[in-house]
Amino acid sequence: MLNAVWVSELGTDEARVTDLLKAVADVDGKPEIEDGFPFQGGKHLLASVDGELVGYAHLDTAGDAFGNQVAELFVHPEHRRKGYGGSLVQALSVKGPLRIWAHGDHPAAAAIAARQGLVRARELLILHTEVKDWPEQSIKLRTFVKGQDEQAVIDVNARAFDWHPEQGSLTVDELRATEDKAWFDPDGFFLAEDAEGKVVGFHWTKVHAADPKRFGGEPVGEVYVVGVDPSAQGGGLGKALTLAGLRYLRDRGLRQIILYVEGDNSPALAVYSKLGFQRFSVDVQYAG
């Protein structure tokens, strides 16, 4: 019988949950745990059978920018097709709007959602391309300076992504915390300024360590965030920033690039398609 318990702190259970997430990632490619345990704060649901952890769910009670609480749930690959996924969804009873991630858009997740009366509310596409001979752009850029540019980047980010459930709420403290991560590279963080020296756009790149189960076991570059101030949009700045980052990742010797983009962001999809990106996979949010 499934025993599901909510806790506010994992404590010594974090090791057990980490092992479960690693087993899930080995099969599904998600969640990403290279930067450490991915779920902080909120509430944690531990689902066990005869003392063995078979499922885990995290509920972000702070929610996204639009007031939705956001959940992610995982069932150990050795314990799937036993109804545990549906039981975890049923345990996610909250007051107010709820969104639940389904990474990879697996048919099993869609079936569980249908049985639980959930509707498809959001698609986050992962696009992929092999490196190409991307052209140079006649635009002057500089790279990010730690301790100097955080506020300027956050200001542009907030205006550029005021419509986005997560990205637009990024804070200076969160950006500074990211600077301490091993993958952070200021030389791959490009800034565009206007004639008065004000930051009006940026392209933040990322390099993922090699994963033997993905992309042929090679490290992979990512177009992590491209943000352009609304006052500077429409003149090709976003494309120029994107190209600068792509060439940087190529020159680092990377052969494959990925990026995440909202499924309904038609202008961005058109730009990335012209640059050679194709749909690789999709993460879905279901609404409760």
Q: Residue 249 in contact with residue 282, Cβ under 8 Å?
A: no
The reply, when asked if residue 238 is annotated as ligand binding, is yes
The reply, when asked if residue 131 is annotated as ligand binding, is no
The reply, when asked if residue 227 is annotated as ligand binding, is yes
The reply, when asked if residue 73 is annotated as ligand binding, is yes
The reply, when asked if residue 166 is annotated as ligand binding, is yes
The reply, when asked if residue 136 is annotated as ligand binding, is no
The reply, when asked if residue 234 is annotated as ligand binding, is yes
The reply, when asked if residue 173 is annotated as ligand binding, is no
Token reading at 166? 């997560």
Task: Return the C-alpha torsion angle 283, 170, 234, 252, nearest 10.
Answer: -70
The reply, when asked if residue 237 is annotated as ligand binding, is yes
**What is the torsional sign of CA 238, 240, 244, 247?**
positive
Angle between helices 107-115 and 84-91 (to 10 degrees): 50
56 has which bridge partners? 46, 74
The reply, when asked if residue 239 is annotated as ligand binding, is yes
The reply, when asked if residue 188 is annotated as ligand binding, is no
d(CA 100, CA 58): 10
The reply, when asked if residue 83 is annotated as ligand binding, is no
d(CA 153, CA 147): 12
Residues 269-288 as b or e (16 or more Cβ within 10 Å = b): bebbeebebeeebebbbbeb
The reply, when asked if residue 175 is annotated as ligand binding, is no
Token reading at 203? 């392209």
The reply, when asked if residue 82 is annotated as ligand binding, is no
The reply, when asked if residue 5 is annotated as ligand binding, is no
Taking the CB of residue 193, how many other CB atoms lie within 10 A of it? 15
| Maximal CA-CA distance, the chain | 66
Provide the annotated binding site. Answer: 35, 73-75, 166, 206, 222, 226-228, 233-239, 260
Provide the annotated binding site for acetyl-CoA. Answer: 73-75, 226-228, 233-239
